[in-house]
Amino acid sequence: MAIYTCKLGSAEGKILEKEFEAINPALLRQNLEEQGYFVFELKKKPFQFLWEKGIARQRVNNKEFLTFNQELLVLIKAGLPIIQALDTILERLDKGKLAEILVDIREEIKGGAALSDAFAKYPRAFSHLYVASLRAGERTGDLPQTIRRYIAFLKRVEGFKKKVISALFYPAILLTLAFVVVSVLLLYVVPIFSQIFADAGSQLPLPTQMLIAFTTAMRRYFLLVVVFIVGAGIMFRRWSSTETGRFVLDRFLLRFPFFGELFGKYAVAGFTRTFATVLGSGIPIVDSLKMSVGTLNNKILERKLLEAISRVEEGMQLSTALENAKMMPPLAIRMLGVGETTGSLEEMLGEISEYFEEEIDRSLHVLTTAIEPAILIVTGLVIGVIIVTMYLPVFKIAGSVSG
């Protein structure tokens, strides 16, 4: 999501300047106006790739945030007022970003602010989804149930992310080791052999000459290659952070064989899980859809979903709008239609999310099962070719001696 700098007028007549993360400026403006702000100015922050480290530092650790919500739920259910509940949590909380923010939030609530409004003042630390869930809980008078839903949502999302990371962890280690072994052979072992052959003064076979020339060039221009790769990486990251670059990259990812389908399923699984959680908190369907857009994390899918939201606002059925947008497979659309017809949309969205997560899990299992031996075979072949190429002069010398 992009970062926008906003100049706002509050209901009390104050002029505020804040930064928010949002899918697009129109959606952010609408959300701010719904919160009672008058938007004087809204502009995208330039050179956002330079600020990403700073933004990351302002975000709260997910594990710490989950623990905070679990403790808050227990204390509220025990009958403690919000102020006392926050005091109790702050007593055991270690110093850090979350503790600093909670101290400020406590003061805001003490001054008469609602819990959701106090959290809304820190958009970098707490997602719009979390703030909206709190606001819905305050509106319905069932804050514990809302927090419980959000905790379950966080656990499912984090659990699924860990499953994906663990599935890709071993292939990543194999690739790293393969790269290190081949690099050591090319940059250190081959030059030692080439020096021995040079001292011997024998005529080298063509494959050996080509390999030595390649490694010599690598050693000579190594720093230049590293600088080029780093520079290209920075330029690519800068380009991919632009609107055009992001669209091109996201379109490529969705069309990439095998992985494109995997990316699409992952995005839709996250969207349906989030949508179900927000909808279950009592937030209207259109608002729930708008809050869930950012979880797709793909500009192509986000544009399709925004088009579907516009059709839903015009009165079209959700399943029909999503079918026209062509962002979900037919099975998911049929399940959504059943959920709308039977009045169990939230449960059906959860079922769709679980279905996609299981599909992703199976695809990752197939991928890792195939990629591990493939990496080992390719690495073995490369190392074998290097070793045989370097031993060709030895075989030649041995042959001439025996002859």
> Of 32-46, 69-83, 113-127, 133-147, which gets the smallest average pLDDT?
32-46
pLDDT tens digit sequence for 108-124: 888 888 888 888 888 77
Per-residue confidence (pLDDT) for residue 232, from 0 to 100 = 94
| 197 touches 393 (CB < 8 A) | yes
Q: Across all residues in the chain, what is the average pLDDT?
A: 82
pLDDT tens digit sequence for 338-394: 888 888 888 898 888 888 888 888 888 888 888 888 888 998 998 888 888 888 877
pLDDT tens digit sequence for 198-207: 776 667 888 8
The CA-based angle 316-318-321, given to 5 degrees, is 65
Q: Write out the DSSP string of 47-72.
A: SHHHHHHHHHHHSPPHHHHHHHHHHH
| 376 touches 369 (CB < 8 A) | no
What are residue 7's phi and psi, to 5 degrees? Answer: -105, 115
Per-residue confidence (pLDDT) for residue 59, from 0 to 100 = 64
pLDDT tens digit sequence for 310-353: 899 888 898 899 889 888 888 888 888 888 888 888 889 888 88
Q: Where are the domains of the chain?
A: 2-46, 58-152
Judged against a pLDDT cut of 90, whether residue 270 lies above it is answered with: no
What the block records as the tokens of 295 is 């979880």
> What does the pLDDT average to over 97-111?
86
pLDDT tens digit sequence for 155-197: 888 888 888 888 888 888 988 998 898 888 888 888 888 888 7
> Of 19-28, 98-107, 120-129, which gets the smallest average pLDDT?
19-28
Judged against a pLDDT cut of 70, whether residue 398 lies above it is answered with: no
3-class secondary structure, 96: coil
> What does the pLDDT average to over 72-94?
87
Q: How far apart are CA 28 and CA 41, in angstroms?
A: 12
pLDDT tens digit sequence for 237-246: 888 878 788 8
Q: How far is CA 198 from CA 56, 192, 220, 343, 396, in A?
A: 53, 10, 18, 81, 15
| Nearest residue to 337 via CA among 359, 325, 322 | 322
pLDDT tens digit sequence for 291-316: 788 778 788 888 888 889 889 988 88
Question: Based on the number of CB atoms within 10 Å of its own CB, is 139 exposed (0-12), middle (13-18) or buried (19 or more)?
Answer: middle
Share of the chain above pLDDT 90, in %: 4
Residue 314 backbone class (left: φ over 0; alpha: ψ -120 to 50; beta: rest): alpha
Three-state SS for 299-323 is: HHHHHHHHHHHHHHHCCCCHHHHHH
Cβ neighbours of residue 340 under 8 Å, at least 6 residues apart? 317, 318, 319
Per-residue confidence (pLDDT) for residue 46, from 0 to 100 = 63
Q: How far apart are CA 196 and CA 87, in angstroms?
A: 73
Per-residue confidence (pLDDT) for residue 55, from 0 to 100 = 41
The residues pairing with 42 across neighbouring beta strands, listed in sequence order, are 6
What the block records as the tokens of 379 is 């690495």
pLDDT tens digit sequence for 86-96: 889 888 887 77
Per-residue confidence (pLDDT) for residue 397, from 0 to 100 = 64
> What does the pLDDT average to over 46-75?
69
Cβ neighbours of residue 184 under 8 Å, at least 6 residues apart? none
| 138 touches 115 (CB < 8 A) | yes
| Nearest residue to 33 via CA among 11, 3, 18 | 11
Judged against a pLDDT cut of 80, whether residue 222 lies above it is answered with: yes
Cβ neighbours of residue 145 under 8 Å, at least 6 residues apart? 137
Per-residue confidence (pLDDT) for residue 54, from 0 to 100 = 45
Judged against a pLDDT cut of 60, whether residue 47 lies above it is answered with: no
pLDDT tens digit sequence for 271-280: 888 888 888 8
CATH number assigned to the domain with residue range 58-152, chosen from the 4 options 3.40.1640.10, 3.40.640.10, 1.20.81.30, 3.40.190.80: 1.20.81.30
The residues pairing with 10 across neighbouring beta strands, listed in sequence order, are none
**Identity (one letter) of the amino acid at 44?**
K
Per-residue confidence (pLDDT) for residue 231, from 0 to 100 = 94
Residue 79 or residue 123, greater confidence: 79
Per-residue confidence (pLDDT) for residue 13, from 0 to 100 = 67
For the question of whether the overall pTM of this predicted structure is more than 0.85, the answer is no
| 272 touches 349 (CB < 8 A) | yes
Sheet holding 15-22, edge to edge: 15-22, 2-9, 38-44
What the block records as the tokens of 129 is 């989804």
| Nearest residue to 384 via CA among 213, 182, 214 | 182
